Amino acid sequence: MKFSYGVGINVILLIFAIISYSHAASDSLVHGGKEQIIDLGLFKFKAPSGEEWSSNINTESGEAQFKKQKKSIFGGDLPLTLIHVSYNSVLKEEMWKLTEKEIADDYRNGEKANMFIQGVLKGAYRLEDLKEDSININEKTIYTFSYKQMDGRSFGDDKLAESILYLYFPANFKKSHSFYRILISQFSKKDKIVPLDPSPAIEVINSIQVK
């Protein structure tokens, strides 16, 4: 099945943005541990808690990005954790009859295909430990897609990334045909691997309020 969705960016494009962003000086807002409510029009949520997070909010496109990065005398260093929050709309009416799981499967298959075609086959990186699953958060099923990236032009011999994509379908999905995606990625050096802690992404999911 060929998927057709609206707002949002592909995992592959986000990963390249993260890689190029990881060693750049940040001009984003640091919210200093204070509670920050992010309003993206169709929905709102709490920014990840903690003083280390900086944020870039784009209300026009309905996206928010949060970054936590180890500091060094040269600027940003690894490990780097990044969370991207956005929404997608199912555009084709013939797909509106599908279940949440069918939409989630279709979307995850599309992301996998994009990463293989635009990343793996072009020598940008290697993919490992791909897994599709689901978890229950506050009696709501969240569909997940986890994977690791390493090697190739983008990661070289010394870096790797571990990521989890969460797909959240709100109670009004059958009416709005919109769902929410939360991607958390952790970039580490291979000789100092820092395991991915998904709790900041879960915190965001728990706080989502659909308007």
pLDDT in tens, 171-184: 999 999 999 999 99
Tokens standing for residue 209: 């309020």
Q: Is the pLDDT of residue 98 over 70?
A: yes
pLDDT at 30 > cutoff 70: no
CA 80/CA 189 separation, integer angstroms? 10
Mean pLDDT is lowest, of 11-15, 56-60, 123-127, 137-141, for: 11-15
* Per-residue pLDDT, 60: 86
Using the predicted structure, report yes or no on whether residue 91 has a pLDDT greater than 70: yes
pLDDT band at 139 (very low <50, low <70, confident <90, very high): confident
Residue bearing the bigger pLDDT, 24 or 15: 15
| pLDDT score of 21 | 47
Residue 182 and residue 205 in contact, taking contact as beta carbons nearer than 8 Å: yes
pLDDT at residue 79 in the model = 87
Region of poorest pLDDT, from 16-20, 171-175, 183-187: 16-20
Q: How many CB atoms lie within 10 A of CB 30?
A: 12
Whether the per-residue pLDDT at 71 is higher than 90: the answer is no
Closest CA to 82 of 35, 132, 138, 24: 24
